[in-house]
Structure 1
Amino acid sequence: MTKKGRRMNLKPFGDVFRERLDRIETEARKVGLNFTSICEQAGISRATPDRWRRKLPKTVELVETMEKIIANKRAELDAARGIKRQDDE
């Protein structure tokens, strides 16, 4: 329930999770990383995210690690370009 007793139209967790994986893959490419390198840096096999797409994991901790790897690479690239993002302030 939300404000004033109305129900929110929430997506199922599985859909949100798979969208997150897709976003990681897309964002990795934007910062010059491939999905395999993100997986290696996160300490998982390249096949693991594919397995997660079929069967949800018990935790999202590794996905958060993958997102941090991309954020760190983006910050590194931004610093090299002299760009300061609002979320860095």
Structure 2
Amino acid sequence: MHADPAVLPPRYLRTKEAAAFLSLSARTLEKHRTYGTGPAYHKLGGRVVYSVDDLKAWADRGAVTSTTDPRGQLVPPKRQMPPASPRAVRTAR
């Protein structure tokens, strides 16, 4: 007897669904993907998808028990943009 595919949980989630699963915005998840700080993802026919197991593993790497727990650094924060060059900043006269 085979399992009914309608009752099986999804194995892969698109960015919007994966972000909701992690309680993040889709844009935050996209930034993590761009910076290489997010969960592993797959490209299937040009579409970005996330395995539920990879999402859980990424979230578990960030689990801590207190604010001083060094394990909290395993999931890096989003990368900061470099400061603007002095030429880009104009001073008012």
Q: Specify if TM > 0.5.
A: no
TM-score if structure 2 supplies the norm length? 0.30
Q: Which has the higher helix share?
A: 1
Which of the two has higher C-alpha Rg?
2
Q: TM-score, normalized by length of structure 1?
A: 0.30
Between the two structures, name the one with larger relative contact order (CA 8 Å, sep ≥ 6): 1
Which is richer in strand?
A: 2
